[in-house]
Amino acid sequence: MPDKRPLRWEDDFSSKALDTKPFENSTLLSDWSDEQRKRVVSGYNLKELSDYKIADAIKRDTLAVPSDDDREGYSRGFDGYYWLSGLRDFRVAQQSFERWNCKPDRILEMGCATGRVMRHFVCQTDMSEIWGTDINHRHIRWLLEHMPERVKPIALPALPALPVESNYFHAVLAYSVFTHIDTFETGFLAELRRILEPGGLAILTAHTESTWEQVQSGTGPAVESFRARLHTSIPQFEDHVKQDLPKGRTGFRHTDLGPYRGQVWHSTDYIKRVWGRFFEILEIIPLAHSLQTVIIVRKPKR
């Protein structure tokens, strides 16, 4: 039987560990055309930003914009929408903090990529420490080269062991992360609980019944693009999606190699029953992160 393991052991647990290729970034916000700025300021019809002064946020952002190849598939060819989608998710987090009386000064974003969301915490807040983790070493190298010192990027394997002290962070973010953790989910939940201070918030996302229903019968570019990716990479998904989302947790793998193995779906009942063992479930908000459900949880106070 041929050996299916990658030639480099690092690729079992992480991605691009030995990458040294230089970065070719996109145009700085300060060099955007008037038309591009106008489209971004209009918000691309993102309702989450209807009360936000986007033009002022653009002026405050002086960071590099990663190229299409260095932003984990987000908004290829559309720098403005890439930037704006990060602002949207930053705003979702901000509003959650306000609703639950959380005033974070130290946060961690798990699965931060090249800072799509993180850049807005850097440019739009005065938080003293903004940490990020990712299994793609190239992303972490980009952050080290382009972000200020209060950003602390960590390259990690796809295993539930975060090398940070307990009870340290006021808040943790994990956008589109638990949608891909198909083996060590409870280990990661326990790790997030450990590193949060008592009473600290975590903002997590998942594919739930609302996502499933959108894939079944929804319309629009986001739905059609997601549906096409699923049907191409996971052929067996075509038959499953004709039925209701199964109760519990359902995973689909498109490869047996490396850390990017597939898609994971959660029923809301499962989230309450399993995630609720580690955290107090505060809110479950369908379709608040594009097609994903936002789950806001809190570490119990002692």
- Classify residue 107: in a domain, yes or no: no
Question: What is the DSSP secondary structure assignment for residue 77, as one 8-state letter?
Answer: T
How high is the mean pLDDT of the chain? 92
Residue with tokens 């190298």: 141
Q: Specify the pLDDT at position 48.
A: 79
Range of the domain at 286: 157-302
CA 206 to chain centre: 10
pLDDT tens, residue by residue, 139-171: 999 999 999 999 999 999 999 999 999 999 999
pLDDT of residue 278 exceeding 90, the answer is yes
Q: Pick from 126, 174, 180, 122: which is nearest to 152 by CA?
A: 122
Could you give the number of structural domains in the chain? 1
Q: Specify the pLDDT at position 2.
A: 54
> Rounded to the nearest 5°, which phi and psi values hold at 245?
-60, 130
Please state the rounded mean pLDDT for residues 128-148: 98
Amino acid at 221: P
> Rounded to the nearest 5°, which phi and psi values hold at 66?
-65, 155
What's the CA gap between 195 and 198, in Å, rounded? 9
Helix, strand, coil % in the chain, rounded to nearest 5: 40, 20, 40
- Classify residue 38: in a domain, yes or no: no
Higher pLDDT, 149 or 39: 149
pLDDT tens, residue by residue, 206-265: 999 999 999 998 888 888 888 888 888 888 888 888 899 999 999 988 888 888 888 999
Please state the rounded mean pLDDT for residues 111-134: 97
The phi-psi region of residue 124 (left if phi > 0; otherwise alpha if psi is between -120 and 50; otherwise beta) is: alpha
- Classify residue 200: in a domain, yes or no: yes
- Classify residue 64: in a domain, yes or no: no
> Rounded to the nearest 5°, which phi and psi values hold at 293?
-90, 135
Q: Specify the pLDDT at position 5.
A: 65
Got the DSSP string for 232-278?
A: HH-TTHHHHTTSPPPSSEEEEES-SSSS--EEEEE-HHHHHHHGGGT
Q: Within 13 Å and on the Cβ side, how many CA atoms surround 157? A: 10
pLDDT of residue 183 exceeding 70, the answer is yes
Q: How many Cβ atoms sit within 10 Å of the Cβ of residue 182? A: 17
- Classify residue 52: in a domain, yes or no: no
Higher pLDDT, 253 or 24: 24
Q: Which CATH number goes with the domain that contains 191?
A: 3.40.50.150
- Classify residue 133: in a domain, yes or no: no
- Classify residue 290: in a domain, yes or no: yes
pLDDT of residue 3 exceeding 70, the answer is no
- Classify residue 271: in a domain, yes or no: yes
Nearby residues of 11 by Cβ (< 8 Å), 6 or more positions away: 17, 257, 258
Whether residue 285 contacts residue 195, with contact meaning beta carbons closer than 8 Å, is answered with: no
